[in-house]
Structure 1
Amino acid sequence: MIDIVQQTTTPLAKPIDNDGNLYDLLENRASRTPDEQIIRYRDKNGEWQGFTGTQFLELAHSLAKGLIAKGFKPGDSICILASTSWRWTAMDFAITSIGCVVVPIYQTDSAAQIKRICNDSTVLCAFAGDDRLRDSLESVRDECPSMKDVYLLDDNTLTALKELGQNVPDSEFDVRRKAVGRDTVATIVYTSGSTGASKGVELSHGNFLFTVYSGFQFMPEFTLGEDQAMWLFLPLAHVFARYMQFICIGGTVQLGLGDNFKTIIKDFQEFKPTLILAVPRVFEKVYNAASQKAGTGFKGRMFNRAAVTARDWSRAQQAGTKLPLGERIRYAFYKKTVYSKIIDVFGGRAERAISGGAAIAPDLSHFFNGIGMPLLEGYGSTETTAPSSVSPFHHYKIGTIGTPLSGMTYAINRPVEGYQYGELLIKSPSVCLGYHNRPELTAETIEDGWLHTGDLATLDDEGFATLKGRMKDIIITAGGKNVVPSDLEASVMKSEVVDQCLVIGDGKPFISALVTLDLDGVNDWLQTQGGEPLKNLEEASKNAAVRAEVERVVNQANAQVSRAESIRKFEILPDTWNVENGMLTASLKTRRGVITKNYSKLIDTVIYAPRKK
């Protein structure tokens, strides 16, 4: 039920016409910058290669004609199961340009998930990034009646498609392209399912185009600025990565594409992006690595003082004040000697970063803001075609998710019984068409044009939104206290020894937490403490020094909340939570229900053990 108590809209600077084809973005870019490299990547030998605007347009055009020659009709679904690469992007433009539908699948999805997605979306053909992924598709092919072909997404396949397309006249491509409009489905993206079974979200060309053009108006310094570059390493199966692909190519940004998280720092340093897009864990690891490198001697003390000064500067800036003269002098000194070296880790040109996918600890945000690279938090979902808000580049508030993008409206629904906050509602042309084959769920989720996000939030007087947690995740203790687990979890995960943290306590007498460890982080930390490395997580979970470090960050987290909201007990687990064992979603969010069920015996008999009579 819609019962709005607050509402804010970011006005458009000029009207947006989103009745078109995603191919328009590439064609317009090629006409503006035909000879500039718009895409760069590393080849198999690690050497840098690229495509000019003209080259990439010709590639997408020839692949699209190849698909027409193969007999694909408007509305046909084609699956891509591959890592982020220029081939993925080229096929994306080719498939959607002729009215076909891209169905992306995460590389980490199980055979059962692949089968369900392919059958639900009636996939006719699939492209796999390598032999292993092709085998995954082939293993379910007999159980997917509609899937006729599985191809490797490699140079041989692309060459064969281009050759087939030579027999298709340009006029036939033009007819197919022009038949695509605002309401044509471009993709069906299956959500990662942190709150239940995955569902296919139908996104149209108009959805994407509105969000891209809105982004042009909201952050023109980046999207339409000179000499801008972004390194994209997030999986293109995720809608936010797809959106960034489109806005970079549609704007003036050089897009770097890669898939190796292990070489991300080297890639940053050589590609030299002006905007960093990453999840909070990347920034946590950079901070922890800088702290480790400084050590415990003079350099370590200097780094710690520099970190405190950076946070002090940030808090003063956010409050609209200045540091005292002595601290300003120290800040200027640290900017040259400490902060610049950290920014160099990201290539030296990054002026700001966008962090998404999970809550980020305020201390970490203040640190990076203080060193000169603000971490701007945003918000979005598959249903909103990726971002619907982000902190404005020149007026940002740490701890918020910013203001709605241009032409988008946020509203707060009246809080329901048992909740302190109201649900965030969104109205925008970027809101999805609905859920594939799920009309009842669509009607429940999109009501009178308003998208029910399932997230609790507040709005301030300037239209900045602050998330208060998911309605399904908010913990209501036995005493009736509402607790936002994400804030506590982000704070605990600041420690380099911690990999994941899940706060629990719904219906229980107090709040507690399950903690998993990062073995590499543990051993790096132990080295600075003069300790010996540990062989496995079993040893680490029982180590007294490690437990003391976890207890330290738990106490820090507790200092930010009331006693009723604080973590009273925690258990360090000798386990890893990942996508493969079902504990994390494909976008690396904890699956709260799965985890609590898996550890139900521990929770009930150890953490909340009944009192002995």
Structure 2
Amino acid sequence: MQQEFTRALEEPIDSDRNLFSILQERAQRAPNDSLVEYAGAEGAWHSFTAAEFTQKVIELAKGLIARGIMPGDSVAIIAHTSWQWTALDMAIMSIGALTVPVYETNSPMQVKTIFNDANVSMAFAEDDTQRDKIELVRQDCQALKDVYVFDFGALDTIAAFGHGISDEEFNEREQAVKGSDLATIVYTSGSTGTPKGIELSHANFIFITLSGVHTMPDVVDKPNRRLLLFLPLAHVFARYLQYVCFAGNVTLGLSSNLKTILADFGAFKPTFILAVPRIFEKIYNAASQKAGAGLTGRVFSRATQVAREWSRMQQSGETMPLWFKVKHAVYNKLVYRSIMEVFGGKVEYAVSGGAPLDTSIAHFFNGVGLPLLEGYGMTETCAPCAVNPTDGYRIGTVGLPFQGVTVGVDDEGELCIKGRSVCVGYHNQPEVTREQIVDGWLHTGDLGTIDDDGFIRLTGRKKDLIITAGGKNVSPVEMESSVMTSPVVSQCVVVGDRKPFIAAIIALDLDETNLWLRAEGAKEVQNLAQASKNPIVYAEVERAVNKANELVSRAESIRKFEIVPDEFTEGNGMITPSLKAKRQVITDHYRELIDTVIYKPRKA
């Protein structure tokens, strides 16, 4: 390794345990804590104490035993984030079975592939729509037996089956589950290729969960911590956050409807939140558009400048003049407080992950009083392996490794990870396991550097590097992130491999575009086709591209862009559940546009 940095453990971690033991310890330590809270169908919030939720998990585990689920069996869940998902997950793993998460956006063919690869014997679906996907391919899934539906009382049914199972039988099964046993097979969202099943053990999760408590005590271990989780639980980062909540002193709030997320923030009042960068971009753009173009808009614009300047001074350690502190305090009363109220008024920190975060967004939120602690990880590391500290965080980096984790940079500049959270391997793909995990080092595919203090800075994806016809190596991530801060842009994908110059394919967000047009006093558009041809929208995209180009040399800059009249969604396979563009899928889909419009063939 060219560079290597290990963050020492402050206290030893015994990872030869199972994940249920963390929930059990919380119930013993603080049985009356409000552990899990959720919004009911009528909008009111309900809660389980730690003791109640643990008992619910045991009831479900007994039911699974009664239905014949044995250690090593795979049980799938296809549902939105909910307390039912969390309870089932813990119940499945508590008896040595494997949870197999399936995104609710997966197609029937993807469901079939996952079910057969993982040998799924039982499945839980949220509703008729998800059950129908299973039924369409059920005859091709030889191991599949029972299918239960949340909406039709699945959990009550499973719990009823368990009435004949004694506490002693459950305890025997639970105590037999060791750290080395597999806990789950998680299928990657496939942003860089065909999804792979990643085997994660109880020891993997136990280690990084307890390391997380030691690494982020201000976030998860102080009394009365509250997290509102709205990412899909099929994503390993959301799964991990559940376990950290149980191990720390956190009340876990669960929400799956992004349309009600602002109301949920107000009702739940989290002390910290986790989201992908696109969520923070949307909140910033919504605040900007709400301010409008008049006096309020000018005040917001100046407040934004002051917030970013405050953040840059704070990050550099520069002494702030008294007049600047006064100006910042004035804008805090006029603007910043109302922005913080969007998150419920109690939030202290936010963790951003899953995709690169544009530094201008990070400086804005830092300046208004909400540090965005960017982190980094992969499914192969049980989600996180690095995060910025609450004290001494550095914008533009993904922070320090978790305690007990080693990071390195190899001779090709690739970031590598070593530690007890690195996965067991890739399910049914021993050759991939040998290629990706070498001498204990997980090769991430990301390019990066490590400074003398251990802070990690990502510089791009190894496979995403674009080599132009002129031989220039271009990493597109920074430019794409910058363009996507525009209120009208949904996705930006830079192209130009073996081409004479760099270009970009840009997709719009119709709702956000109309909000922006309205704020600008312009006429709204009816659809994406109109939006893509609108000269006012084009000018805004051009402004965003020009701003991004300031970050790079001319040879690396976006010389041409095309706005496509299409939406990039999980459903059409263009983006992952964490809202990252699937570069190869998009470039393949727009191959004709790229070859005949962006790069017009020269006439003979």
TM-score by length of 1: 0.97
SS in 2 for 1:521: helix
Partner deviation per Cα, 1:482-539 (whole Å, 9 max, x = no partner): 2111110110011111111101111111110000111111111111222111111111
SS in 1 for 2:354: coil
Is 1:548 equivalent to 2:539 in the alignment?
Answer: yes
Is 1:216 equivalent to 2:213 in the alignment?
Answer: yes
Given that 2:503 and 2:598 are in contact with CA atoms closer than 8 Å, whether structure 1 keeps it comes out as: yes
Q: Distance in 1 between the 2:43 and 2:597 partners?
A: 51
Given that 1:312 and 1:323 are in contact with CA atoms closer than 8 Å, whether structure 2 keeps it comes out as: no
Measure how far apart 1:156 and its partner are: 2.4
Q: In angstroms, what is the RMSD of aligned CA positions?
A: 1.0
Partner deviation per Cα, 1:567-606 (whole Å, 9 max, x = no partner): 0000011111111111112332111111111111111111
1:128 to 112, 125, 138: 125
Q: Aligned residue for 1:11?
A: 8
Amino acid in the other structure paired with 1:479: G
Measure how far apart 1:26 and its partner are: 0.8
Is 1:325 equivalent to 2:322 in the alignment?
Answer: yes
Measure how far apart 1:182 and its partner are: 1.1
Is 1:520 equivalent to 2:517 in the alignment?
Answer: no
Q: Aligned residue for 1:585?
A: 576
Is 1:344 equivalent to 2:364 in the alignment?
Answer: no
Amino acid in the other structure paired with 2:366: N
Within a 5 Å distance, the mapping from 1:418-497 to structure 2 comes to: 422-497=413-488
Measure how far apart 1:328 and its partner are: 1.6
SS in 2 for 1:166: helix
Amino acid in the other structure paired with 2:453: E
Is 1:243 equivalent to 2:240 in the alignment?
Answer: yes
TM-score by length of 2: 0.99
1:511 to 502, 507, 515: 502
1:272 to 269, 273, 283: 269
SS in 1 for 2:153: helix
Q: Aligned residue for 2:113?
A: 116
- Using the aligned pairs only, state the percent identity: 55
Measure how far apart 1:155 and its partner are: 6.8
For this pair of structures, how many residues does the alignment match? 604
Amino acid in the other structure paired with 1:500: Q
Within a 5 Å distance, the mapping from 1:112-511 to structure 2 comes to: 112-154=109-151, 156-415=153-412, 422-511=413-502
Given that 1:313 and 1:322 are in contact with CA atoms closer than 8 Å, whether structure 2 keeps it comes out as: no
Measure how far apart 1:334 and its partner are: 0.8
Q: Distance in 1 between the 2:290 and 2:581 partners?
A: 30
Q: Distance in 1 between the 2:318 and 2:9 partners?
A: 31
Is 1:604 equivalent to 2:595 in the alignment?
Answer: yes
Long gaps (5+) in structure 1: 416-421
Is 1:575 equivalent to 2:572 in the alignment?
Answer: no
Given that 2:226 and 2:252 are in contact with CA atoms closer than 8 Å, whether structure 1 keeps it comes out as: yes
Q: Distance in 1 between the 2:83 and 2:342 partners?
A: 25
Runs (4+) of structure 1 moved beyond 6 Å?
none
Given that 2:290 and 2:519 are in contact with CA atoms closer than 8 Å, whether structure 1 keeps it comes out as: no
Q: Distance in 2 between the 1:242 and 1:607 partners?
A: 41
SS in 1 for 2:390: coil
Amino acid in the other structure paired with 2:551: Q
SS in 2 for 1:50: strand
Given that 1:38 and 1:50 are in contact with CA atoms closer than 8 Å, whether structure 2 keeps it comes out as: yes
Long gaps (5+) in structure 2: none
Partner deviation per Cα, 1:190-220 (whole Å, 9 max, x = no partner): 0111111111000000000001000011001
Q: Distance in 1 between the 2:155 and 2:588 partners?
A: 45
SS in 1 for 2:164: coil
Q: Which moved more, 1:305-314 or 1:472-481?
A: 472-481
Q: Aligned residue for 1:419?
A: none
Partner deviation per Cα, 1:78-113 (whole Å, 9 max, x = no partner): 010111100111111111000000001000001110
Is 1:44 equivalent to 2:33 in the alignment?
Answer: no
Q: Distance in 1 between the 2:510 and 2:577 partners?
A: 22
Amino acid in the other structure paired with 1:49: H
Q: Distance in 1 between the 2:427 and 2:212 partners?
A: 27
Q: Distance in 2 between the 1:202 and 1:218 partners?
A: 24
Given that 2:355 and 2:578 are in contact with CA atoms closer than 8 Å, whether structure 1 keeps it comes out as: no
1:26 to 23, 27, 33: 23
Q: Distance in 2 between the 1:452 and 1:361 partners?
A: 25
Partner deviation per Cα, 1:117-153 (whole Å, 9 max, x = no partner): 0000100010001111011111111010000111112
SS in 2 for 1:472: coil
1:103 to 100, 104, 116: 100
1:536 to 524, 527, 533: 527
